[in-house]
Amino acid sequence: MLSKNIYLLYPPGSSGSYLHWCIHRSEEGLAPLTIDDPLNKNDNEKFGGAGTAHLHERIPTHQGIHQHLCWMVYNRPTEKKVFLINSHILNSTYSAGNPEFAIRLITASDPDPVIVVITDNGILDNRKYGSLNTITKWPIFFKANQYIEKHFDFDSFNCKNSITARNLFVEHYHEMFPYIDHVDDNILNPLLGWNKNWYDVRNLYNGHEVNEKTYVLPKLEVDHLYNISLTDIVSNKFPDWFNDFTGKINAGTFDTKFVKEYHSTYINAQQNLQWFNEIKLFRKTLVLTDFLRSHSLLQAFVIMELKNDLPDTYDWKTASIDEIVQVAVSCKF
């Protein structure tokens, strides 16, 4: 079984549940308790869209850092676990904790955590891939984060063919879809420093109350903090990264052979990976494909590519995506 808690910090749509399964399926004590195929092959409300790894049971579930701490207090687990922390940057909602804040709370409550942050590496196309996963594979995110749906007045379960949702995504994409681009040391280091300073001062003057028996001894660095991009998880790079990761963390006995052999199955099930080739080709040819027409968010991404080429007086909000592209092409050439 695991000898350390492992925390996976990521926004929805980042393959975090798959990484959770990989850890469970590879660890000597957990593997016999873990299913061999975690893939959900059909869209449904319980397990999400096709391509999620949610057939693998995630207890506790993917939840924010505050919900995680409440879960820990209520359930008081004695065994080490893999925790899924819903951590992301999203300016339109106060309920989400950024990764730096989550790391600070984890390190203040666990003396030897392993933390993995799944990011988009600051690459907008990677972020958009994660957003596509969010809206098509886990739209329940928007139901659970009620502020987003209520504020923007849309239904994440019924927005696939909606021009209204398409226009909303064009104008408010960055306010609606969660992401992590990187862990910012300029934010994290002061948080860790504040925690250490509080402990040091209180320990110095009130050592009978604040000491190592009742508090995690604060550190200014996280011993096991790792980063992987959401696109690397769905690439051929992942098996080597995962093998290296499990070899470094000293958190259990791991055999990654099964995951290495299974990994192509997971990649092949990720329909949204088409996004990268499709948008690359569109930028060269300006020719729409059925894939780029297939969802209101994809149509929004196309409009975002062309918006500066459209006439200021053109009412794109009432036009079809094909007409919008045709107008943009005529203006551009």
Instruction: Using alpha carbons, select from 225, 229, 282 the residue that is nearest to residue 248.
Output: 225
* Gap between the Cα atoms of 214 and 227, Å rounded: 30
* Gap between the Cα atoms of 135 and 313, Å rounded: 31
Structure token pair of residue 171? 């104008």
Three-class SS state of 267: helix
Q: Are residues 38 and 167 in the same domain?
A: no
Q: Are residues 19 and 90 in the same domain?
A: yes
Q: Are residues 263 and 315 in the same domain?
A: no
Contacts of 126 (CB under 8 A, 6+ apart): 120, 229, 230, 231
In this structure, which amino acid lies at residue 233?
A: I
* Gap between the Cα atoms of 225 and 8, Å rounded: 10
Print pLDDT tens along the chain (333 aa). 999 999 999 999 999 999 999 999 999 999 999 999 999 998 888 888 899 999 999 999 999 999 999 999 999 999 999 999 999 987 655 545 899 999 999 999 999 999 999 999 999 999 999 999 999 999 999 998 878 888 898 999 999 999 999 999 999 999 999 999 999 999 999 999 999 999 999 999 999 999 999 999 999 999 999 999 999 999 999 999 999 999 999 999 999 999 999 999 999 999 999 999 999 999 999 999 999 999 999 999 999 999 999 998 999 999 999 999 999 998 876
Contacts of 138 (CB under 8 A, 6+ apart): 12, 13, 48, 49, 52
Residue 135 lies in a domain: no
Domain extent, residue 46, equals: 6-120+179-269
DSSP at 87: B
Contact 297, 169 (CB under 8 A): yes
Q: Are residues 278 and 213 in the same domain?
A: no
DSSP at 254: B
* Gap between the Cα atoms of 55 and 30, Å rounded: 16
Residue 18 lies in a domain: yes
Structure token pair of residue 58? 């995630």
Residue 146 lies in a domain: no
Q: How far is CA 106 from CA 70, 217, 297, in A?
A: 13, 12, 34
Q: How many domains does the chain have?
A: 2
Contacts of 226 (CB under 8 A, 6+ apart): 114, 115, 116, 117, 245
Q: Are residues 206 and 169 in the same domain?
A: no
Residues in the chain: 333
pLDDT at 93: 55
Q: Are residues 113 and 169 in the same domain?
A: no
| Domain-terminating residue out of 269, 298, 317 | 269
Residue 126 lies in a domain: no
Q: Are residues 60 and 166 in the same domain?
A: no
Residue 1 lies in a domain: no
Query: In this structure, what are the phi and psi dihedrals at residue 319, rounded to the nearest 5 degrees?
Result: -95, 155
Structure token pair of residue 286? 């300006």
Q: How far is CA 56 from CA 19, 53, 173, in A?
A: 11, 6, 31
Q: Are residues 164 and 24 in the same domain?
A: no
Three-class SS state of 44: strand
| Domain-terminating residue out of 242, 269, 296 | 269
Count of CB atoms situated within 10 Å of the CB of 255: 14
Contact 120, 182 (CB under 8 A): no
| Domain-terminating residue out of 249, 269, 289 | 269
Contact 145, 96 (CB under 8 A): yes
Q: Are residues 50 and 80 in the same domain?
A: yes
Contact 99, 183 (CB under 8 A): yes
pLDDT at 272: 98
Q: Are residues 76 and 190 in the same domain?
A: yes
- The residue to which tokens 């000597």 are assigned: 28
DSSP at 48: B
Q: Are residues 184 and 292 in the same domain?
A: no
Q: Are residues 86 and 108 in the same domain?
A: yes
pLDDT at 146: 77
